Amino acid sequence: MTDKIGNVWVFIEQEGGKIADVSLELVCKARDLANRLNVKAEAVILGNKISGVVDPLFHYGCDNVYLIEDPALEPFTVLPFAEVLVKLLKEHRPNILLFGATLKGRELGPRVASSMMCGLTADCTSLRIDNFDDKINKKSYTDKLMQIRPAFGGNIIATIVNTWEDPQMVTVREGVMKVSIPDTSRKGKLIKIKAEISAESKVIKVLKRISEEKDIDLKKSQIIVSGGYGVGGKANFKLIYELADALGADVGASRPAVDAGWVDHDHQVGQTGVTVRPKLYIACGISGSVQHRAGMDESSKIIAINSDPDAPILSIAHYGIVGDLNVVIPKMIKAFKAKV
Ligand code: FAD
C-alpha cells in the first residue's frame, strides 16, 4: 500500500503554438482523476515562445502548468524532450502521467518510462481510479490507476495496474476521452522552468519539415456514413458518398474497406482508426466487429444497414435496416431529398 500520492500530470503536445485536441481531452480526464485522488491536475508543455498558448489548459481544468521554453525544444525531437521531462519527473514525482497515443506520445512516453524504470501502458481507451488486491503477493493497493485497453486483437478488454511506486504512465488514444465545456474564467498557476539541455540531446538537427494536411478529421464530424466490406467494391463506394452528400455527412469506413483501397486510411473508424462520437452514425455493410465498435459505439444514434439479420452491428444499432444496401441507400437518399 502506498501512502504517497503525487499529482496527475499531462504531457501537452503543441504544434506551431496550437495545442493538440488529444492534450485537451487528457486535461479533462486528468481533472477527473485528480478530483478523485484529491490532488492537483498539472500540465507540462515544452516548446519555444509558446507562453501565449497556455490559458486553455487552465480553462479545461489544470491547476498548474509547467512551461519550459528553449530554441532546442522547437520543433519536437525526442532527445531534448525526454531529458527535460525526466528531470521534471524526478523532481516533482507526479503520481500519474498521461500522454496522447500520437506519433510524439508514442515516441516520447516509452523513452521517458524506461529512464524512470517504470512501465507504460500504451493505447488506453479508458482510465479510472480503484483499489487493487494483488492476490498472488497478498498485497492491497489503494487508489491505483486502472489502465484499460483492448488486448489480444481487441478480443478482450484488459485492465492493467502498476504495483510499483509512481509515476503510473500511459498513452491514451485520441478521441476517447470526453472534452468538458471550458470555463474561461478559471485561472491557475504558470510555473516557468529554465531548460537545461545537454549537448548530447541536441545532436539531431531538423533540416526540413514537410507536413501534409489530413484528408479528413472524423473526430469532429456530427454525421458519419460509413461503408464496410459489404459495399462490395471501390466503384460502389460512391453510394456511401452520395448518401453522405445528401445528409451533409462525412464518410467513414471499416478496415477491410480501407485495406481494399476503396477509401483512404484517414476515414477508418475503429481500434486502429479513429474513435468517433457523432450525433448520427450510419453503418452500411459493416458486420460490427469489436474492433470497429470500439471506434463508434458511443455515437448518439446508430443506424445499421445489413443484409444479415444476425450481424452483430444490429445489436448495438438504435435502428436496424435488414436489406441490401444497394436497394436501401438509394431509397434513403430519395426519401431524404423529398423532405428537404
Ligand atoms: P465484414 O466483417 O466482412 O462484414 C461485411 C458485412 O456486410 C456483413 O455483415 C454482411 O452481412 C454485410 N453485407 C454484405 N453485402 C451486403 C449488402 N449488399 N448489403 C448490406 N449488407 C451487406 N476493423 C475496423 O473496422 N476498424 C479497425 O480499426 C480495426 N482494427 C483492427 C485491429 C486489429 C488488431 C484486428 C485484429 C482487426 C481490426 N479490424 C478493424 C478488423 C475487424 O476485426 C473486422 O475484420 C472488420 O471490422 C470487418 O469489417 P466489415 O464489417 O466491413 O467486413
Give me ligand 1 centre to Cα 215, in Å: 22
Return the biggest CA–CA distance within the chain. 68
Span from the CA of 253 to the centroid of ligand 1 (angstroms): 9
Is the CB of 226 inside a 6 Å radius of any atom of ligand 1?
no
Q: Quote the pLDDT of residue 107.
A: 97
* 166 or 161, greater pLDDT: 161
| Residue-level pLDDT at 194 | 95
Tell me the pairing of strands 14-15 and 18-19. antiparallel
What is the residue with the minimal CA distance to atom 16 of ligand 1? 230
* Average pLDDT of span 35-48: 97
Q: What is the pLDDT of residue 339?
A: 83
Distance 291 CA to ligand 1 centre (A): 9
Mean pLDDT confidence for 125-143: 95
Helix (H) or strand (E) holding 283: strand 280-284
147 CB within 6 A, ligand 1: no
- 257/267 Cα distance (integer angstroms): 10
Beta strands 250-253 and 223-227 are parallel
Instruction: Report the residue among 292, 314, 325 best suited for mutation to probe ligand 1: largest number of ligand atoms under 8 A from its CB.
Output: 292
Q: Which ligand 1 atom is at minimum distance from the Cα of 287?
A: 9
Query: Which residue is closest in CA terms to ligand 1's atom 2?
Result: 287
Q: Hey, which of 218, 234, 240, 271 would you mutate to test ligand 1's pocket, going by the most ligand atoms within 8 Å of its Cβ?
A: 271
Quote the CA–CA distance of 18 and 8 in Å, as a whole number.
22
What is the average pLDDT value for the chain, to the nearest integer?
95
| pTM of the model as a whole | 0.84
Q: What is the DSSP letter of 245?
A: H
pLDDT of 258 > 60? The answer is: yes
Neighbouring-strand partners of residue 65: 43, 190
Atom index in ligand 1 nearest the CA of residue 271 equals 28
What pLDDT does residue 2 have?
41
d(CA 174, CA 130): 23
Residue 319 in grid coordinates:
435502428
* Angle made by CA atoms 317, 323, 324, in degrees to the nearest 5: 120
Domains, the chain, ordered by start:
8-202 (3.40.50.620), 218-339 (3.40.50.1220)
Q: Is residue 3 predicted with pLDDT exceeding 50?
A: no
Look up residue 193 and give its three cell numbers: 522552468
CB-ligand 1 contact for 329 (6 Å cutoff): no
